[in-house]
Amino acid sequence: MLPFPLRPTHDLLFKKLLTSEDSTSILRNFVKDLLGIEFKTLTPKKTYHIDSYKESFEKMTIKLTEVDILAVDEEGSHYTIECQIQPHHYFQERAIFYLTEAYRSSFGNQEIEAFIKDNNFSALRPAYGINIVDFHVFDKEQEALQIFRLLNEKTYQPFLGFKGKEPLILSFLSLKNKHLEKNHPAYHWQYFLKTGEVRQEAPSYIKEAKEKIDYYQLDEEEKTMIMRVNKAEESFNAKLSTRLIEAEEKGEKKGQKKERLKWEQEARENVVRMLKDQMPIEKISEYSSLSLEAIKKIKETHMD
């Protein structure tokens, strides 16, 4: 048994899963199953390697304006893939930002095939976004997979651009939402990303994906790096709880009540996540700076 729950949505495993040199088939089928788009090739802009991952982590070069995974197909269309586990305010706006940044990234690039001289817009290529989220972005009673595109308001005909392709498509797959038909291609991906397990009837490439990120098949550097990433996340949660305590110490003065309630809610949500991950309450108390009694109360209220 692992000392902590480990899922494919872990940052290191997610990148290893989809952007390793031998993950071409997994990446291609992943995008095809979630977007329903046909293409010949799909290549990640950055290929996973433990050394480059360590360097990015140590130098903190992963920024808010950098999407988790960016891939390009044979026609230059861009595919953004983002995995967000913690709830994020304005996540819809963030997803649109990533998508439009990918769309405009090729503006004026004269090296692009079929670039028309003196027309920078001819270099623009379609951009398609996939967002894996472990929280409810939309109504929890709606479908787990939501796909948005530009359509004519009356005829519902799609807006077409380069070579008759849709210029922008944005999708969200919620791991929290249960409403996804079992015959949908994304069904087995949702189950795998949510649990780390693969159903017997799942496609072979998803079974291959599970083998690729099996913890006991990772090298020692990857295992060490996973522990470092986990520790960094726990530190973030602890800082969040500290801000809650600081807000409480300020009291209920005018203008502070709203801030206190906000951090209280976020702290509760973080404790609930750690409880769902079966982390011992003693450890949760250590990371969150909350008392055992407070954590037990949250457990009774939100987990029973």
Write down the pLDDT at residue 300.
79
265 has pLDDT over 90: no
pTM over 0.85: no
pLDDT exceeds 70 at position 288: no
Q: Which two tokens stand for residue 27?
A: 């990446």
List the one residue out of 144, 65, 68 whose CA is nearest residue 105. 65
Most confident segment among 57-71, 88-102, 270-284: 88-102
**Binning pLDDT at 50, 70 and 90, where does residue 231 land?**
confident
Decide which of 84 and 150 is more confident: 150
Half-sphere exposure of 172 (CA within 13 A, CB side): 24
pLDDT score recorded for residue 255: 52
Which is higher by pLDDT, 235 or 103?
Answer: 103
More confident residue, 176 or 117: 176
**For the chain, what's the residue count?**
304
- With 50 as the cut, is the pLDDT of residue 73 above it? yes
Q: Which pLDDT score is estimated for 83? A: 92
Q: Pull the structure tokens for residue 183.
A: 């015959």
> Which residues have C-beta within 8 Å of that of residue 274, sequence separation ≥ 6?
237, 283, 284, 287, 288
Cβ atoms of residues 189 and 29 within 8 Å: no
Predicted local distance difference test score (pLDDT) of residue 63:
41
Contact partners, residue 264, CB within 8 Å, separation at least 6: 244, 247, 248
pLDDT-derived band at 15 (thresholds 50, 70, 90) equals: very high
Mean pLDDT of the chain: 84
Residue 97 CA, distance from chain mean position: 15
Question: Is 209's pLDDT higher than 50?
Answer: yes
Indicate if the pLDDT at residue 158 is higher than 90. yes
Q: Distance between CA atoms of 105 and 111, rounded to whole angstroms?
A: 13
Q: Which pLDDT value is given to residue 273?
A: 78
Q: What is the pLDDT of residue 88?
A: 76
Residue 183 confidence (pLDDT)? 93
185 has pLDDT over 60: yes
Q: What is the pLDDT of residue 64?
A: 39
Cβ-contact 98, 68 below 8 angstroms: no
* SS3 (DSSP) at 129: strand
Separation of alpha carbons 112 and 96, rounded Å = 24
Q: Using CB atoms within 10 A of its CB, is residue 288 exposed (0-12), middle (13-18) or buried (19+)?
A: buried
Cα–Cα dist 95/81, whole Å: 10
pLDDT at residue 236, rounded to an integer: 60
pLDDT bucket at 117, cuts 50 / 70 / 90: confident
For residues 135-153, average pLDDT: 93
For residues 82 and 173, give the distance between their C-alpha atoms in angstroms, rounded to a whole number.
Answer: 10
Residue 45: which residues within 8 A CB-CB, separation 6 or more? 70, 71, 72
Whether residue 268 is predicted with pLDDT greater than 70 in this model: the reply is yes
Distance between CA atoms of residues 202 and 167, nearest Å: 31
Does the pLDDT at position 245 exceed 90? no
Q: What is the mean pLDDT of residues 126-142?
A: 92
- Provide the β-strand partners of residue 133: 84, 174
